[in-house]
Amino acid sequence: MTGGPLIVQSDKTLLLEVEHPDAPACRMAIAPFAELERSPEHVHTYRLTPLGLWNARAAGHDAESVVDALLRHSRYPVPHALLVDVAETMDRYGRLQLANDPAHGLVLRGLDRAVLTEVAKSRKLAGMLGSRVDEDTIAVHSSERGRLKQALLKLGWPAEDLAGYVDGEAHPIALDETGWSLRPYQKEALEHFWAAGSGVVVLPCGAGKTLVGTAAMAQASATTLILVTNTVAGRQWKRELIARTSLTEEEIGEYSGERKEIRPVTIATYQVLTTRRSGVFTHLDLFGARDWGLVIYDEVHLLPAPIFRFTADLQARRRLGLTATLIREDGREGDVFSLIGPKRYDAPWRDIESQGWIAPADCTEVRVTLTDAERMAYAVAEPEEQYRKAATARTKLPVVRALVERHREDQVLVIGAYLDQLHELGEFLDAPIIQGQTTNREREKLFDAFRRGELSTLVLSKVGNFSIDLPEAAVAIQVSGTFGSRQEEAQRLGRVLRPKADRRQAHFYTVVSRDTVDTDYAAHRQRFLAEQGYAYTIVDADDILGPAVPDAG
């Protein structure tokens, strides 16, 4: 018995004792390969999965380092069968390799002849493979590079892609580092990405993912297609590129619902690319409109299915995915792994915070008690309507107002998912609302007023989850969300993590209705942030509202 904070179990679950003095070091050691499943107060549960182990392998962690982390931190002897399974699972990555052969073009090579023979017989690879070149090599149709990687991952034999990349159409792009420079972790992320040529960089919100993308563009010095979540995010990218590189406004095109410009650097929204007309995705031709040297996927965890399909055809292009969390609630992390590339760099949020690059944050869950009428309305609602009833309870309104009043000296964002609730909050707080129907011009006007301090409170719908740069926002109050979405929780906390000029702490509040599914979903949403080392304090609404004032008369 070593007295470590970790209990490693034969069913591949890892139990981490949160209060143990070595828990932070253990969390950092297992983060590259273990996925957090549950995070109550005292013991957090992680799980070892093939995808997590393959991501670690692709990022340069070998089985020996994973086994060492488990043995070093485990309180009890680690089950031998689990250690064997970890080593064998990680060894599956790279036994098949995609490469370019001078005589035969794209080929699938087997470092293990039996594995190559096994997958070649699979019906799931029908039509993707060509003729056998020799006992260890099979020709691959070049157009099937992406789909083959997807299929091999599902068969449990993820291929290492060594086939290389075309440079694309050259276009000069230089960083203008006047008054700023890349931070050490940004340089490291760029090096890891460029050495591989494709893959995902995971950095906390506010840690400068855009700058990593900008530096990758300068390194490629080639035409670049940047895919973003919305037009506001696209225009933020454009402003950053003009401010930090040699690019001019004329060299950067916007491809959105409002404009259709194709230029050496083109910024397109996922929404316009996935718009159908008569069942056809008319704008996906943009992927072939130029000889792109680099494709950047901002907020890659949100990638829509049609973009995955076209990305399968882009495997000869360098591809960079940027995100704060690779969690996808639809379970398609494997498609990100195979089509964009494995996770190449991942910086723990608390590490970046301790270096002063993002603001420290205090997370609080405020629980409100529904009125008798609200509780009855919830009780009789159909199961699919119960979350909405609980999440939009009017009982939350005075609590939100009290929190805004508590932070009257700060810039406050109130974020929710239901428009009726947001309009009610806007009236209640006398604050403007930004939602999907708000025009881009009006959004930018309100965001600019908020940045200048002319507005102290903004009410945001889900459009506020992503890619909005509001550095002085210090408080976020979440009133409703997309059920139990962990990535949404991370994105919303990210709205307040930009470092403040006076280095003050950020505050993140979640207002939930107790004894309802609202509380259950809140617990699920918090899992990712708990993995990053954030602890939620749970308080009663009365602690926020203060003592009740008796009726006059």
Residue 545's alpha-carbon distances to 408, 416, 537, in angstroms, are 15, 21, 16
User: Is the confidence at residue 533, as pLDDT, over 80?
Assistant: no
- Please enumerate in sequence order all residues whose Cβ is within 8 A of that of 174, keeping only pairs 6 or more positions apart, or say none: 218, 221, 245, 246
User: Is the confidence at residue 189, as pLDDT, over 90?
Assistant: yes
- DSSP notation for 267-301: EEEHHHHT-EETTEETTGGGGGSS--SEEEEETGG
Structure tokens at 178: 């006047």
Percent of the chain with pLDDT over 90: 62
Structure tokens at 147: 């789909």
Contact between 30 and 6 (Cβ < 8 Å): yes
Residue 133's alpha-carbon distances to 112, 123, 146, 161, 278, in angstroms, are 15, 20, 21, 18, 43
Contact between 279 and 286 (Cβ < 8 Å): no
In angstroms, how far apart are the furthest CA atoms of the chain?
95
- pTM given for the model: 0.82
Structure tokens at 489: 């929780």
CATH number listed for the domain at residues 359-545: 3.40.50.300
Contact between 61 and 32 (Cβ < 8 Å): yes
**Domain ranges (residues) in the chain:** 6-92, 96-161, 184-352, 359-545
Look at 154-163, 388-397, 457-466 and tell me which has the smallest mean pLDDT.
457-466
Contact between 298 and 322 (Cβ < 8 Å): yes
pLDDT digits over 451-489, tens only?
Answer: 888 999 999 988 766 656 777 789 999 998 876 677 778
pLDDT digits over 197-228, tens only?
Answer: 999 999 888 889 999 999 999 999 999 999 99
Contact between 341 and 196 (Cβ < 8 Å): yes
Structure tokens at 86: 């970890």
pLDDT digits over 228-281, tens only?
Answer: 988 888 999 999 999 999 999 999 999 988 889 999 999 999 988 888 887 778
Q: Domain 184-352 classified CATH 3.40.50.300? A: yes
- Higher per-residue confidence, 79 vs 486: 79
Contact between 366 and 414 (Cβ < 8 Å): no
Closest alpha carbon to 253 in 224, 280, 281: 224
Look at 61-75, 334-348, 388-402 and tell me which has the smallest mean pLDDT.
334-348
The reply to whether domains 184-352 and 359-545 share a CATH topology is yes
pLDDT at position 41 is 66
